[in-house]
Structure 1
Amino acid sequence: MKKISIACLIMIFCLTGKAIIHADDHTWQDETIYFIMVDRFANGDTSNDYEVDLNDPAAYHGGDFQGIIDKLDYIKEMGFTAIWLTPIVKNEPKGYHGYWTEDFYEVEEHFGTMEEFKTLVQEAHNRDIKIILDLVVNHTGYQHPWLDDPDKQDWFHEDEAILDWDNQENVENGRLAGLPDLAQENPEVREYLLDMAKWWIQETDVDGYRLDTVKHVPKDFWEEFAREVKSVKDNFFLIGEVWHNDPTYVADYAETGIDSFVDYPFYNEATRIFSRPDQRIGKYMQGIWERNKSLYENPYVLGNFIDNHDNQRFVRLAIENKQDPVTRLKLALTYMYTAPGIPIVYYGTEIAMDGGNDPDNRRMMDFTDHELVSYISTLGDIRKDHPALTHGDLEVLVDKVGTTVFSRTYEKNNVIVAMNNTTEDQEIILTDDMLTGDSQLIPVFGDKVIKKEKDGYVITLPKESSEIFILEEDNDNTNEVTFPYWYLVLGLIAVGVIGFLIIRKKHQ
């Protein structure tokens, strides 16, 4: 009977023509990441609200582990498969953001307890959501106890500011924003940091680290760091922050064993293009992709983002350009979800949260209904269901000022994305040399299926809008006699079930 079942499955596959994506094929490039600043997301436990002041943008606002646990279903329903959390270690006063470490082994009491964090990780895993922790090994907080320890004076570099950003030695040894800079070349410091990083994995079962301030730490440290932490847990993911505009400079750190990077060059282009109309899309998109393919062994795992906690929010950029932020966000999000790479959505983007420079870009989350929540959910579903968007190559089919059409193709899966970044409706024709064969374009957001006409496929896009199409064979355009093959599939299944029951009855 097992052989019969397998044969039936093979027959069903042949009849339906649907590609089967095996679970074992799932990699980090299939993930979609939601980025949370723990203190500013959700207050689930008021008992840990020490010195909370919602009127002070530089004070704690009450977000905690319990708040995130309470919102895990909300995050999953939007289609996110991983959560990146800002640092959770114990910070010195006013360190609501997590980047002023006071104790590398303790949990920040404003966020909850170690047990509550472990519960958060487990509850996320129960929902097939991975947890990525932000980890800082470049510096400590301004008042770290080691600064007053005579035995640890050589654990820090000299108190010198970073004055020459083109001088790598100064970048690595100078104090970023005056924060005490750790000396990773000191064997004791190195051992401490490596042991600490491995301990958090062993203790909490987190799935990855977002590595803060990568370019301020020597590459030889990162090489050992990557080897050590990956020895603790299979498929452990490292995504680094190399805040630099030169793609080659960023990519050089991939040689250390860090798997991925938040793609600042992508961010620079995406926010420039979509925060205002009439910007050219196609040639820059193709250029980014070709560049990344030449620089990285796996460019599909680079982190695409349009918002983060260090820059003014995309909404503010749109407002400054006198644009409707929701309209602009929809275009930018469509681009981010359909371009090669892992989409990273900063909390609040789904409600079009406004915000200027730090700390205004870190406002407390407001869980109100917003049309962008369902829009992001749809984008998440499309990305999950179509491997072309996670594994496929990119080809720009149409490239005009303000309008573009591009395809993502992986095996038999083909997704077409059309974008109108102008203030006028646009008609776009895809000719036979762009899309061959008799196919039809099934829209994701709209309801009008586009069939091939004499001149090709005619796409009409309203101003400042985009559409995602699934390219499928159009059986209506063939001269062959079609057959409702799903009836045949159902019939075969019914025959199989009846046969099984007959055989079973004979053996009773």
Structure 2
Amino acid sequence: MNKALYAIITLPLLFLFALPVASQEKAERNWQDETIYSIMIDRFNNGDNSNDFEVDTRNPLAYHGGDFEGVIMQLDYIKDMGFTTILLSPIFDNNESGYHGYAVNDFYMPDEHFGSMESFKTLVNEAHERDMKVVIDFVVNYVGSDHVWTKDPGKKDWFLQTEEMTHQNQLAFPWLEGLHELNLANPEVQEYLVDAATWWVKETGIDGYRLESVNQVPGDFWSDFSRAVKEVNSDIYLLGEVAPEDSSSIMDHEKSGINGFSDYTFNQPLRAAFAQPDQPMTELISAITEKEQLYKDPSLVVKFLDNHHTSRFTTDAANLNEHPGARWKMALTYLYTTPGIPMVFYGSEIALSGGEAPDNFQQMNFMTDKELVDYITQLGEIRGELPSLSRGSFELLHEKDGLAVYKREYEGEISVIAINNTSGTQSVDISAQNLKEDMELRGMLNGDLVRSNEGNYKIVLDREEAEVYVLSERTGINVAYLIAMVVVVLLFIVFITLLKRRARNGSN
């Protein structure tokens, strides 16, 4: 009797859960699908007090105690926000005040303030166990004033003369003062750096390098560099940094094997469009088309609002008396849903502020409001679920005074992104000819639902609100589901009736 009743209840439930559900098989994750979290190691998290040498958190030019162990402790925090790659500031042994990593003393040793080689390997392994990649900043341009090469008369031709330090004069970053710029036209220098780069890939299993000021380095060096590291790992990602005024050289560097570039050219238009409401996005949108001429593969370009070379985007908004939270939400939505790889600098998720370096390297705080963290998490989940956002084509559907609607499409999947970066509620009609008739747009950020009506999709957004829609079949009554539920209810009634009858017979 018990077995029979169990079967009566179980069979309809199995039928119910066996009903077909909409699902899409995920493609293998490639570099254009990554989402990068960039970390200034020294300012991120102190996980090991035993390596706190000469730490002074009150001095913006001194070490603050961040280390490899601190990053390891926060890997789950980073992964939970949807980031798939971490980008670390330079890790090599540095001068006493080289918290930034640019004053290299030894290309084969990690800085003692950050931890041992074993702790760095643990960091890489822990990231890989979480299906996250690790990219490190490889500074080939400079060494610190204490490097043994600077004391060796036989290596005088390994350095440029002071007047040749064009990069320092051009950018004038504080951490470049007192550094010695390497002569990368020297074959011995080239060979040494290429050997060091391949050694780190073999020894630690890192997944990529960010390469500083590639336009200041001979192209044949990058060809040798790229070829050597990709012989060790063919999937390694090389991210080049090129100043906006030298963007015309990007195509030449792409031929040398560099995969992608930090999008400095369009960083300022991006910041200007979202630092305050009611700003036109014309220049920003047109930049997407321009990228197709500038880059071999625009999907591998890294987009960002701020990084180690810029002031904080939060400060831009604050200087305009704007609330940073709303500004970040609008800008991040654009960053995550347009072609290219989004990169977020540590602390952006808590709207960290700061001006020029070192003010932009404020200490990370994990005990602040989580509103932006939750929003970034949502965006990360959506980007991970929709290949159209990382691989799809781009088509502008509407743009006017801060309201933009655009479409991404990939292998039949269509997503529509609407951003209302204005100070009032906005509505716009999108013709079904640009999408499909008799369908619906399902919002993934706020749950909005827009059905086609007389050949149009009417999108309505409150001020400073955005939505990411997926074009889907119209939802209706699920007949199979209702039948299954009715069967379950009826059988449950039969089950209760049988139980009562059995209990009555037992008492008799």
Range class of TM-score, shorter chain: 0.7 to 0.9
Displacement of 1:487 after TM fit? 8.8
CA contact (8 A) 1:44 1:70 kept: yes
Question: What CA distance in whole angstroms lies between the structure 2 residues aligned with 1:93 and 1:222?
Answer: 30
Between 249-258 and 423-432, the greater mean CA deviation after superposition: 249-258
SS at match of 1:433: helix
In the alignment, does 2:211 pair up with 1:211? yes
In the alignment, does 2:335 pair up with 1:330? no
In the alignment, does 2:315 pair up with 1:316? yes
Q: Out of 27, 31, 36, which is 1:28 matched to? A: 31
In the alignment, does 2:138 pair up with 1:139? no
Match of 1:379 in 2: 379
Between 464-473 and 41-50, the greater mean CA deviation after superposition: 464-473
Question: What CA distance in whole angstroms lies between the structure 2 residues aligned with 1:245 and 1:72?
Answer: 36
Match of 1:431 in 2: 431
Q: Aligned runs of 1:193-212 on 2, under 5 Å?
A: 193-212=193-212
Larger radius of gyration: 2
Displacement of 1:245 after TM fit? 4.3
Displacement of 1:243 after TM fit? 2.0
Match of 2:156 in 1: 153
Question: What CA distance in whole angstroms lies between the structure 1 residues aligned with 2:395 and 2:246?
Answer: 24
Q: Aligned runs of 1:72-471 on 2, under 5 Å?
A: 72-162=75-165, 177=177, 179-245=179-245, 247-281=247-281, 283-368=282-367, 369-454=369-454, 456-471=456-471
CA contact (8 A) 1:209 1:239 kept: yes
Question: What CA distance in whole angstroms lies between the structure 1 residues aligned with 2:168 and 2:249?
Answer: 13
Displacement of 1:432 after TM fit? 2.5
Displacement of 1:158 after TM fit? 1.6
Amino acid at match of 2:273: I
Q: Aligned runs of 1:48-87 on 2, under 5 Å?
A: 48-87=51-90
What RMSD over aligned residues (CA atoms) do the two structures have, in Å? 2.5
Displacement of 1:126 after TM fit? 0.4
Amino acid at match of 2:25: I
Amino acid at match of 2:345: Y
Between 56-65 and 463-472, the greater mean CA deviation after superposition: 463-472
Question: What CA distance in whole angstroms lies between the structure 2 residues aligned with 1:394 and 1:142?
Answer: 48
CA contact (8 A) 1:239 1:261 kept: yes
Deviations 1:33-87, CA, capped at 9 Å, x for gaps:
1000000000000111111111001100000000001001001100111000001
SS at match of 1:154: helix
Q: Structure 2-normalised TM-score?
A: 0.87
Match of 2:506 in 1: none
Displacement of 1:152 after TM fit? 0.9
SS at match of 2:232: coil
Q: For the structure 1 residues 164 and 28, does the alpha-carbon distance in structure 2 shift closer, same or farther, using more than 3 Å as the test?
A: closer
SS at match of 2:459: strand
SS at match of 2:407: strand
Q: For the structure 1 residues 134 and 486, does the alpha-carbon distance in structure 2 shift closer, same or farther, using more than 3 Å as the test?
A: farther
Question: What CA distance in whole angstroms lies between the structure 1 residues aligned with 2:132 and 2:74?
Answer: 12
Amino acid at match of 1:200: W
SS at match of 2:161: coil
Question: What CA distance in whole angstroms lies between the structure 2 residues aligned with 1:485 and 1:290?
Answer: 46
Q: For the structure 1 residues 329 and 486, does the alpha-carbon distance in structure 2 shift closer, same or farther, using more than 3 Å as the test?
A: farther
Displacement of 1:194 after TM fit? 0.7
Displacement of 1:420 after TM fit? 1.1
Q: For the structure 1 residues 252 and 271, does the alpha-carbon distance in structure 2 shift closer, same or farther, using more than 3 Å as the test?
A: farther
Question: What CA distance in whole angstroms lies between the structure 1 residues aligned with 2:185 and 2:80?
Answer: 45
Deviations 1:177-230, CA, capped at 9 Å, x for gaps:
553121122221111111001001111110000111212111111111111111
CA contact (8 A) 1:286 1:394 kept: no
Q: For the structure 1 residues 60 and 387, does the alpha-carbon distance in structure 2 shift closer, same or farther, using more than 3 Å as the test?
A: same
Can you give the 5+ residue segments of structure 2 that lack an aligned partner in the other structure? Answer: 1-16, 485-508
Question: What CA distance in whole angstroms lies between the structure 2 residues aligned with 1:438 and 1:384?
Answer: 27
Displacement of 1:483 after TM fit? 5.0
CA contact (8 A) 1:36 1:346 kept: yes
Question: What CA distance in whole angstroms lies between the structure 2 residues aligned with 1:212 and 1:178?
Answer: 18
CA contact (8 A) 1:429 1:455 kept: no
Amino acid at match of 2:378: T
Q: For the structure 1 residues 143 and 416, does the alpha-carbon distance in structure 2 shift closer, same or farther, using more than 3 Å as the test?
A: same
Amino acid at match of 1:60: Y
Match of 1:9 in 2: none
Displacement of 1:295 after TM fit? 2.7
CA contact (8 A) 1:162 1:176 kept: no
Amino acid at match of 2:451: K
Between 445-454 and 104-113, the greater mean CA deviation after superposition: 445-454
Q: For the structure 1 residues 233 and 164, does the alpha-carbon distance in structure 2 shift closer, same or farther, using more than 3 Å as the test?
A: closer
SS at match of 2:394: strand
Deviations 1:323-377, CA, capped at 9 Å, x for gaps:
1111000000000000100010100000011111100100110002420111001
Q: For the structure 1 residues 246 and 483, does the alpha-carbon distance in structure 2 shift closer, same or farther, using more than 3 Å as the test?
A: farther
What percent identity do the matched residue pairs reach? 44
Deviations 1:369-414, CA, capped at 9 Å, x for gaps:
4201110011000001000001100000011121110011101211
Deviations 1:145-180, CA, capped at 9 Å, x for gaps:
2111022111111221546999xxx99xxx965531
Amino acid at match of 2:306: D
Amino acid at match of 2:154: D
Q: For the structure 1 residues 486 and 101, does the alpha-carbon distance in structure 2 shift closer, same or farther, using more than 3 Å as the test?
A: farther
In the alignment, does 2:44 pair up with 1:45? no
